[in-house]
Amino acid sequence: MADALICARDLVKVYRVGDNEIRALDGISVEIARGEFVTVMGPSGSGKSTFMNLLGCLDRPSGGEYLFDGQRISDLERDALAAVRNRHLGFVFQNFNLLARTSALENVELPLIYAGVAARDRRARALEMLDRVGLSERTNHHPSQLSGGQQQRVAIARALVMRPLLIFADEPTGALDSHTSLDIMALLQELNRQGMTVVLVTHETDIARFAGRVLRFLDGHLVADEHRAAADAARLLDEHQAVA
């Protein structure tokens, strides 16, 4: 597929624990195209987190080849990986991972700081992203002054602020109630509709149904790769509100 944003071939990741070798990933080959909304599923220990760490350029594979946007990632140095993450990848975590005692605005500015963007530019771009996730009224609030859903929106704004090619969401709704979860999924779907590629890790089928493609992992192997029709989070949200 010429349009593949992610191209993984025979990815292997081996951990050494004492004398034992653990093959967390055992020969994974997969391609993800631009604009896809993919969910990665599997029980804990299936290798899905390891897979995500490799795709997210947080870790390097023990074997195989990984091309991101045509660039070989497998043999990049530490700081080069950091630069790829900074420029092309956005991360959303289960526990938000916002800096405490730091305003929403400054949290969103963080990737821009490491990219060396000038202060005035940084502020403008961070404000624009906070506006896009609907938090323009809360820019000076600290994480402790925001609800879980609002914190996750700040995290999404932070993931978007460098205009990445791809967003990784690792259990983004794991710490949220079902209504707020729908809200966040609606936001991710909307971003996807605007062209953003999204890779979502979850173990909840409720959440996985919003993706058009499911990759299922088991014991370090990719056991299923299904394309299907995605549910519409925004419509579900409307229905919820209508019932309430």
Partner 1 sequence: MNLGALLRVALRALAVNKLRSALTMLGIIIGVAAVIVMIAVGAGAQARVEAQIRALGSNLLLILSGARTQGGVRLGTGSNYTLSEDDAIAINREIPEALAAPALRGGAQVIWGNTNWATQVYGSTPEYLDVRQWTLASGRSFEPAEMSGSGKVALVGQTVVTQLFGDADPVDQVIRIKRVPFRVIGVLEGKGQSLWGTDQDDLIIVPIATARTRVLGAAHAVRQRAVSTVWVKVADGHDVKVIEDQVRRLLRQRHRLQPGTDDDFSLRNLSEAMAAQEASSRVLALLLAAVASVSLIVGGIGIMNIMLVSVTERTREIGLRMAVGARTRDILGQFLVEAVTLSLIGGLIGVVLGIGGAMAVARFAGWQVLLSPTAVVLAVAFAFAIGVFFGYYPARKAARLNPVEALRFE
Residue 99 binds partner 1, judged by CB under 8 A: yes
Binding window for partner 1 (CB under 8 A); candidates: 86-94, 131-139, 202-210, 215-223: 86-94
Closest Cα to residue 108, out of 83, 133, 82, 88?
Answer: 133
Of 21, 71, 113, 178, which lies in the binding site for partner 1, with binding defined by CB under 8 A?
113
d(C-alpha 2, C-alpha 25), whole Å: 25
Binding residue count for partner 1, defined by CB under 8 A: 24
- CB-count exposure of residue 19 (10 Å: 0-12, 13-18, 19+): exposed
DSSP state of 2: T
CB nearer to partner 1: pick between 1 and 16: 16
d(C-alpha 147, C-alpha 150), whole Å: 5
Q: Are 65 and 8 in contact (CB under 8 A)?
A: yes
Range 55-74, binding partner 1 (CB under 8 A): 56, 58-59
3-class SS of residue 200: strand
Closest Cα to residue 152, out of 97, 190, 194?
Answer: 97
Of 3, 16, 75, 78, which lies in the binding site for partner 1, with binding defined by CB under 8 A?
78
User: Least distance from C-beta 171 to partner 1, angstroms?
Assistant: 12
Residue 181 binds partner 1, judged by CB under 8 A: no
Contact positions toward partner 1, by CB under 8 A? 53, 56, 58-59, 78-79, 82-83, 85-87, 91, 93, 97, 99, 101-102, 110-111, 113-115, 158, 162
